[in-house]
Structure 1
Amino acid sequence: MTGTAATAREPLGQLIVAERFGVEVPTFQGEGPSCGHPAIFIRLSRCNLTCESCDTKETWDWSRFKPQEVSTRESVQDLVAWVRPSPVELVVITGGEPLLQQRNLVPLVRRLLDEGRRVEFETNGTVMPAPALLVDGVRFNVSPKLASFGMDEAKSIVPSVLRAFAASGRSVFKFVASSVADIDRIAELVDRHGLAPVWVMPEGTTVEAITSTTRVLADAVASRHWHLTTRLHVAAFADPKGR
């Protein structure tokens, strides 16, 4: 795999967006603690990692994609206006790595909270969250990337950031796993950095693969009293892209 991790340099008041969905065509949060809850998604472009198994490479891999073709700049005002007609409470801000754009995420989150929404961030756990985002109504779904995900852990595991998320009281830790060896590695990270609560999600992009991997992992996850999640959108929709 070749590619260049992309950083975000956006004008003040704008965010670099890869896609947004869940307003015109309703959908669910498919993973983690809010699995099955109605949700609106804002997927931001750009990432600081280059995971081989990434399923959203259009947010960072400029060896395969042209950024001007797979992302747009949208104002905070326009994003809030897009969300406003929906009765759905949960807004999920994902990526890429959304926390690369924290400067303009702060006003977006404030506006969403003021309008009665709650916000979940999906982050890889390598970027320190701004204090202004550690507020009531915001949760971080922190998903550190293991070596088995095709990423050098010297880059994907940042102890100081993981500990800050753990200490915030506003984070859960969601690990993608494909083997019992992955579960053992997760246990090492959990013990070393005090990570809790823990969710494990089986790797896979088809119902068959997810089911098979779930059966491989289930006993090891249960024995540690962790949470087990699935990828509901893969099971629920024939084409889960944009759902």
Structure 2
Amino acid sequence: MSEIFGPTVQGEGPSLGRRCAFARLGGCNLSCRWCDTPYTWDWTGQANSGIAYDPRKELRTIPYTEVRDQLAAFDVPLVVVSGGEPLNQQGRLYPLVRDLRDSGHDVEIETNGTIAPDPRIAKLVRFNVSPKLAHSGDPKSRRIVGNALSAFAALPGSAFKFVCRSEADLDEVAALVHEYGLDSVWIMPEGQNQTALDQSLARLRDAAISRGWNLTTRLHIIMWGDRRGV
């Protein structure tokens, strides 16, 4: 576990602005150069920050019941499980999701879409799937896994959120949407401060709308900048 925090709001995608709490897990199977949470996985300084984080300081093992109780104490209707890549830990994640749903919480899982979901979890949550484009820096063979994307596309309620920098990125999105039959497509500008977000959004907005796709900003960046734990 990297972080547990709230009350806050969901900053991205279909639930933008909803009151929630976050459980952020550690570890990732990708290494996006622009990642905004490199402290969850980057132990060698691969991301643009160039910082090699120490997993002994950044991660800790916590019983799922303790995580559940901390999240429930925030008294919010929605829990977002993020990372890193949460589906690296599906076996351990299931009882947490099960208990949260039993207590009346909605649960969303943020995932890069490279790991097919456990059917037990898929029945309980909505997935916000964020396949990575070429500008992430990882080879396509790592960042695009066809059987996993097809599995998410078959689930009702899945949303597909793409981090884009320029209008040219939208052609890459269009190819994935066509190949895997993706629905509920959300285009999100890349940027870790409001100026960068505004510039990216200005480049993307008209072309994204003309293609029939949704737009999302990054509300938490607008509200708090690059602070952690908010």
TM-score, length-normalised on structure 2? 0.94
Deviation at 1:241, TM superposition (A): 2.0
Deviation at 1:58, TM superposition (A): 1.4
**Does the 8 Å CA contact 1:41/1:93 hold for their aligned counterparts?**
yes
Give the aligned CA root-mean-square deviation in angstroms: 1.0
| Equivalent residue number for residue 29 of structure 1 | 10
The one-letter code of the counterpart of 1:21 is F
The one-letter code of the counterpart of 1:58 is Y
> 3-state SS of the aligned residue for 2:127?
strand
| Equivalent residue number for residue 97 of structure 1 | 85
Structure 1: give runs of 5+ residues left out of the alignment: 1-16
Deviation at 1:19, TM superposition (A): 0.8
The one-letter code of the counterpart of 1:115 is S
| Equivalent residue number for residue 71 of structure 1 | 59
Cα displacement string for residues 153-192 of structure 1 (whole angstroms, at most 9, x for unaligned residues): 1110001100110001131100000011100110010001
2:223 maps to 1:242: no
| Equivalent residue number for residue 41 of structure 2 | 60
Give the whole-Å Cα distance in 2 for the aligned partners of 1:65 and 1:203.
Answer: 22
TM-score, length-normalised on structure 1? 0.89
Count of residues in correspondence between the two structures: 223
**Does the 8 Å CA contact 2:126/2:158 hold for their aligned counterparts?**
yes
Structure 2: give runs of 5+ residues left out of the alignment: 45-51
2:77 maps to 1:84: no
Deviation at 1:238, TM superposition (A): 4.7
The one-letter code of the counterpart of 1:81 is D
| Equivalent residue number for residue 9 of structure 1 | none
2:148 maps to 1:167: no
Give the whole-Å Cα distance in 2 for the aligned partners of 1:202 and 1:167.
Answer: 26
**Does the 8 Å CA contact 1:134/1:170 hold for their aligned counterparts?**
no
Percent of aligned pairs sharing the same letter: 48
| Equivalent residue number for residue 208 of structure 2 | 221
Return the match for 1:108 from 86, 96, 100: 96
Return the match for 2:167 from 180, 184, 190: 180
Q: Detail structure 1 runs of 4+ shifted over 6 Å in the superposition.
A: none
